[in-house]
Amino acid sequence: MGQALNTGLRVSELCVLLWKDINLSSRQGTLTVRKGKGSKRRQIPLNKDVRRVLLMLGYGELAGKPTSVFLGQRGPLTPRGFQILLASYVRASNLKDVTPHSLRHSFCKNLVNAGVGLEKVAALAGHETLETTRRYCEPSLGELQQAVEMVSEEES
């Protein structure tokens, strides 16, 4: 699940990911999305958390192979299979409202909160327009509350 949160991949992109689409070295890595929305291709740099998980999943022996990274019971994991897997994980972890798409939203929002510009977030997410990216990054009511508290004259 961490790959979805730390890469911003659409569930359809995650399910067709092949080992040959991943390139890791000791300090960096990239993932190539061969057919994103609109058949667009893009590369996503991988952070150390994702690199570590990919190594645990078998990157060392599977690197460069045209086989699926994520397998279900009957072959490559499907979007529906991923949804079912995530739902069972969410139930077991007592989480709420976690979906494949919410992980993608969180990826974009986390980048914006870390100070990454919308142009970079859009490129990583494979968005054609900044308006789409902007919708993914709308502030929550809690974030708006924190913002207005910053201009309060009273000390807490």
Catalytic residues: 10, 37, 101, 104, 127, 136
Listed in order, strand segments (DSSP E) in the chain are 22-24, 29-33, 42-45, 71-72, 75-76
The Cα 75–Cα 98 span in angstroms is: 25
Q: What is the 3-state secondary structure (H, E, C) of 115-146?
A: CCCHHHHHHHHCCCCHHHHHHHCCCCHHHHHH
Q: Which two tokens stand for residue 139?
A: 């502030």
Cross-strand partners of 33: 42
The Cα 150–Cα 114 span in angstroms is: 18
Place of tokens 């919410």: 102
* Angle between helix 118-125 and helix 100-113 axes, rounded to 10 deg: 150
